[in-house]
Amino acid sequence: MPRDQSAGSYNAPHHHVRGQLLYAVSGLMKVKTEHGLWLVPPNKALWIPPGIVHDQLMMTSVKMRTIYVAPEKSEVMGSTCRLLEVSALLRELIVEFILEPIEYDLSGKGMHLAALILLQMAEAATVPLAIPWPSDRRLLVVCSAILAHPDQPRTIEYWADEVGASSRTLIRLFVKETKLTFRQWVQQVHLAEALDRLERGEALGSVAHSLGYASPSAFTALFKKIMGESPRDYMARK
């Protein structure tokens, strides 16, 4: 199903009986569930299993192209949300499939496109870009504040004082509830924030400086480690 939405548009929490491959040929979306938060740029797609409640915020104007997958066909994709690489072939298959009727011919072109899309989805690499969301009330305060102001560097000791806990307790909670260390969690937030700013046309040097990195090269190293390519290469592929 195709759907174009303007920057700032918000789709309230909802779920689908079918699995959902959430993809946009252009634009940047932010998607949140009770377990995590993802920024979905072009060349990436978010797999959302059946029944998972999620919302969507359009960070820029978005040309969304959604594929819905029957529950029995969704099992191969797993039961958790995953950000996937979208190959050039998968992108073209989605774009072409969107032109088919919703109830496409089960013996015609639509069925062949659907089969190829499912194969490509199953083979797509998972991108390790996600912001796991905690349930502990102290960690919720910390994570919400960091997400609201990712350009304000604070130590774990600072946040421990803010929520009335020891730094050792917060360190333990981060690993227990997000499966990431405090530093790793903040890095994920920084990368998500950088994708948003780069998508809006902000210069790499400005992004790196505002997020507290000593140099663009230091931030580029983090970006490449997680995304598998440099920010400039990523933007050139868009």
DSSP 34: S
Closest CA to 136 of 159, 113, 105, 112: 159
Residue 101, token pair as written in the block: 């009727």
The arithmetic mean of pLDDT across residues 40-47, rounded, is 90
Strands (E), the chain: 2-5, 10-14, 19-26, 29-32, 36-40, 44-48, 54-58, 62-65, 67-69, 82-85, 131-132
Is 70 exceeded by the pLDDT of residue 237?
no
Crossing angle of helices 137-148 and 182-199, rounded to 10° = 30
Are the C-beta atoms of residues 118 and 74 closer than 8 Å to each other? no
Residue 76, token pair as written in the block: 């191969």
Closest CA to 13 of 59, 43, 53, 40: 53
Mean of the per-residue pLDDT values of the chain: 92
What domains does the chain contain, in order, with CATH numbers? 2-123 (2.60.120.280), 133-237 (1.10.10.60)
Lowest mean pLDDT across 20-24, 34-38, 110-114, 194-198? 194-198
Query: What pLDDT, on the 0 to 100 scale, is given for residue 109?
Result: 95
Q: Strand 131-132 to strand 36-40: parallel, antiparallel, or no bridges (unpaired)?
A: antiparallel
Residue 148, token pair as written in the block: 């609201």
Q: How many residues does the chain have?
A: 238
The arithmetic mean of pLDDT across residues 191-204, rounded, is 84
Q: 5 forms bridges with which residues in the sheet?
A: 62
Lowest mean pLDDT across 24-28, 78-82, 142-146, 228-232? 228-232
The arithmetic mean of pLDDT across residues 150-171, rounded, is 93
